[in-house]
Structure 1
Amino acid sequence: MKKTAMLIGLAAVLGFSSNAQAIDWNWKGDIRYRYQSQLKADQDDVDDHSKDRHRIRVRFGVSPWINEELSAGLQLSSGGTDPVSRNETLGDNFAADGIVLNQAYIDYHPMFLDGDVNFILGKREAKSTLTVIDDLVWDGDVTLEGITVQYGKDAKGKEKSGLCAIAGYYLVDEANWDGEYKGTSPYLLAAQLSYKGTVSDLGYQVGASYYNYVNLGHADDKSAYYDAYSEEMDYDIVELFGNVSGKVSSLPWKLYGQFAQNFADTDEHTYLDDDASTAYLVGLKLGKAKKPGQMEASVEYFNLGASSVNPYLTDSDRGDLTAQEVVGGDEKWLTNVEGFKVGAKYQLIQNMQLGMTYFNTGYADAPEGTDSDWRGHMLQADAVVKF
């Protein structure tokens, strides 16, 4: 009895209470091992024609439900400072790999608004912050930084049925410094409206987004962004998106699509091209690999004009096959690309999934002096464990 009283007293001194004990911590993580083989040239006389890599991605975090009005999130991950990749490539003489802060946010959902509105402060993954159908605008690893107001999403970032409205203010970079600040810091304004519902046996979701990048020419270190952020570039993007889903017999299916156009002024920003300002993606998914023994397959076609979306934040896998390899361009220019992606997943056992993805890509508009028929090929084989 004395030992119990002493432990209770010690807990009180250290600041623990029954309230703290009641927090639902919600620990979550995943580990992915990937073998990636990338064809660098479609030429029979090239000896070293493939770039093969073994890579890992690790994410581990907690999203505590503190009380009915307050939750938060913290996640650590592998990878460096690249905003579109949390992969760590193996093969550095067994050196230790780094861990970075991937997410850190506060979510306040006041009860005077019935808990239906989330005020989010900090750094959170794009797909939980915004309504994201696929990776035309946002790579799956992007974590936005700033302030978000959500209506129609739960605290875990999942859309509820009905109306969803989101507004956000996100910091892109600090203002350029050369003895004094040169202009206002670059930032992104985002707004979305979408609706999720059902008709008969079909589920559907439709929506629109507006992304306005402001003051990109004031970025502190333009060289880090390969001229994607400069006085000559701007992104004033309208996105339309949607999906429809159902079942054929017991087989789930989903048809989805995105369309985006950059309406920035090409007269004012000379790196932009009106004829290359649109991007679109359409895809079909069959099955759902959720329980052991289940499979799913998907196919999608994409086409991204060079001036359509932010080339530093769209999906990194498909763009890596073109400009970087053919004309020696900057590897972060992930637009001016078209092609298709085919994937399959198999739920091997509970919490473990195997997957295979194939990319076939080319130029949306081949630069002068390059082969317009050139195609890039990449194969990814994944083993993923979630816990």
Structure 2
Amino acid sequence: MLIATAVTVALLQLPAGAFAASADDLGQIREQLQTLMQRVDRLEQENTELKSENQTLKAQDDYLKAETKGLRKDTATLQSDAGKVKGADWAGRISAKGDLRYRYEWIEDPTRKGVVAGLQGFNDEQQTRQRIRARLGFDARVTDSLLVGLQVATGGEDPRSSNQTLGGVNSRKAIGFDLAYFDWKFADWGNLLGGKMKYPFVRPGQSLFYDNDVNPEGLAMQFSRGMFFGSAFGFLIEERNNAARSSSSSSGTPPVTITSLTNCIADAGRTCSKDIYTLGAQFGIRMPVGASTLVAGVGYSDLRNGQGQRPFFNANANGNTLTGPFSGLAHDFNIIEGFAEFNSQIGALPLQVWANYAQNQDPDDLNTAWAAGVLFGKASNYHTWEAGVLYEVLGKDALFAQVVDSDFGDGTTDTQGWVLRAGYAPWKNVSLNATYFLNQRFVDVPVNAVFGTKTDYDRLQIDFNLKF
């Protein structure tokens, strides 16, 4: 079509009588036609190249669309995987643990009968009961150096027992926070703890100076450097405020009222506005003795603002001397404590021998406590066993009785006697344990005129323990 058009245009441009033109004119026409033909060839060639490039671009466009779709899919997959990794990282920072204990307990205590006008009461001196203890805890690692610990347990509010006695017409059993603390490792040699925590200081062997269920509340710092270790702590015993102020007063001066006198005595110049707390520290050493290890340490604790007051759970002094029947503590508690623990092996079985001593610096009498014991074997892994014995003497005012073991001598001071232990693990994390308390209560101060001093107290516990 281009050639025909070119020829037509060329012919139209010819002058009249062109068909009779000379040979030169025909030659010019041929040159013009040849030039036009060359231009047409170039246009066809360019058109072909453009078509090829267009097809290439279309193929690239299709490829890019496919790649974009694939990238979107891969991005969605990566986002999902990232979420899974984040979730796995969160889960990996939390560890759970727990235990369940079923206990049969038998107690014989002559003072349970009571005395009314010199006559025996109605209570039986023997008691049998079945109890459970359940605990579930979580450790969450917030950062590489900061950990948070939480644990709930049966037992309700009792600070020295997480046991619940079965019965009560199938009543529901109380559960409360047993642990709630943070543990910050601020240096390779030290930790700072705060909240409701386990004892931050070392206790030797099976010493009963402190009840295993008591979890103190406050702040503590621990350090360990080579063979040396230690701690410093401040535990809040009771928060005090002698006045409850109401913001509803229109006079601008809130009224002042005494809120509670259960544990608060305002006498001898004392008030109920001072918090009661314990300050203390411990320092010790772990040193090798051949293939064995010797651990020894000393400590000091001071109960502040407690003398003359009643910082008691359930208004029970647990044996400490009072200034009167419904009065406060007769003595302060400035306690020096020392201990030693020797760990070795006889064949494949572990052997532990330990001793513990404490003295309250405030009273002049009935102010010392000591204990010593031995434990052979360890009921922990499959088909392992243990056996142990200890003897303890606990003076009436040697220790602050709110924290002493609640089973030995029924959880009171002015007590002495033996504790026999045995245990067997049929499987890992499962154990059977038996503990027998053969004690004497009211060793130095009689409970009353009828029973006098050194009243027998026996207690048998058979436990089935499960850990997970």
Residue of structure 2 equivalent to 1:348: 426
Secondary structure, counterpart of 2:128 in structure 1? strand
Structure number with higher relative contact order (C-alpha < 8 Å, ≥ 6 residues apart): 1
C-alpha spacing 1:242/1:35, structure 2 compared with 1 (3 Å): same
- 1:62-93 per-residue CA deviation (whole Å, 9 max, x = no partner) reads 11223221111000000021111010111111
Equivalent residues in 2 for 1:120-159, closer than 5 Å? 120-126=193-199, 129-133=200-204, 134-152=206-224
Contact 1:29 1:61 in 2 (8 A): yes
Task: Tell me if the contact between 2:310 and 2:329 (Cα under 8 Å) persists in the aligned partners.
Answer: no
Shift of 1:175: 1.3
User: Identity, % of aligned pairs?
Assistant: 29
- Kept after mapping to 1: 8 A contact 2:308/2:330: no
2:462 counterpart SS class? strand
Q: What's the TM-score once normalised by structure 2's chain length? A: 0.69
- State yes or no: 1:262 paired with 2:335: no
SS in 1 for 2:94: coil
Contact 1:211–1:237 (8 Å) recurs in 2 = yes
Q: Which moved more, 1:188-197 or 1:45-54?
A: 45-54
Q: 3-state DSSP class of the match of 1:122?
A: strand
The structure that has the greater radius of gyration is: 2
More deviation in 164-173 or 213-222? Answer: 213-222
Matches within 5 A, 1:282-321: 282-320=372-410
Flag the 1:161–1:25 CA change in 2: closer, same or farther, 3 A: farther
Shift of 1:136: 3.4
2:168 aligned with 1:103: no
Name the structure where helix makes up a greater proportion of residues: 2
Between the aligned partners of 2:81 and 2:383, the Cα distance in structure 1 is: 50
Q: 1 CA distance for matches of 2:189 and 2:461?
A: 40
- 5+ long unaligned stretches in structure 1: 153-159, 267-273, 321-331
Residues in 1 aligned to 2:89 and 2:222: alpha-carbon distance in whole angstroms: 27
Name the structure 1 match of 2:239: 174
What residue in structure 2 maps to residue 381 of structure 1?
462
CA distance in 1, matches of 2:415, 2:381: 35
Q: Distance in 2 between matches of 1:385 and 1:223?
A: 30
Deviation at 1:196, TM superposition (A): 1.1
1:77 corresponds in structure 2 to: 153
Question: Using a 3 Å threshold, how does the CA distance of structure 1 residues 222 and 72 change in structure 2: closer, same or farther?
Answer: closer
Q: What's the counterpart of residue 104 of structure 2?
A: 35
The structure with the largest strand share of the pair is 1
Deviations 1:234-265 (A, max 9, x none): 2111110111121222232110110000012x
8 A contact 1:203–1:244 mirrored in 2? yes
Q: Distance in 1 between matches of 2:408 and 2:73?
A: 65
Pairing 1:244-283 to 2, within 5 Å after superposition: 244-264=342-362, 266=363, 274-283=364-373
Q: Evaluate the alpha carbon distance shift between residue 24 and residue 344 of structure 1 in structure 2; reply closer, same or farther with a 3 A threshold.
A: same
Asked if 2 retains the 8 angstrom alpha-carbon contact of 1:252 and 1:287, the reply is yes
8 Å contact from structure 2 (residues 312, 402) kept in 1: no
Unmatched runs of 5 consecutive residues or more in structure 2:
1-71, 113-119, 244-256, 259-270, 323-327
**For the residues of structure 1 that align with 2:350 and 2:87, how far apart are their CA atoms?**
45
Task: Kindly state the Cα deviation for residue 103 of structure 1 after the two structures are TM-superposed.
Answer: 0.4
Counterpart residue number, 1:198: 288
* SS in structure 2 at match of 1:55: strand
Kindly indicate whether the alpha-carbon contact (under 8 Å) linking 1:106 and 1:122 is maintained by their aligned counterparts in 2. yes
Q: Name the stretch that deviates more: 249-258 or 88-97.
A: 249-258
- The aligned residue for residue 127 of structure 2 is 51
Task: Please report how far the alpha carbon of residue 225 of structure 1 lies from its aligned counterpart in structure 2 after TM superposition.
Answer: 3.7
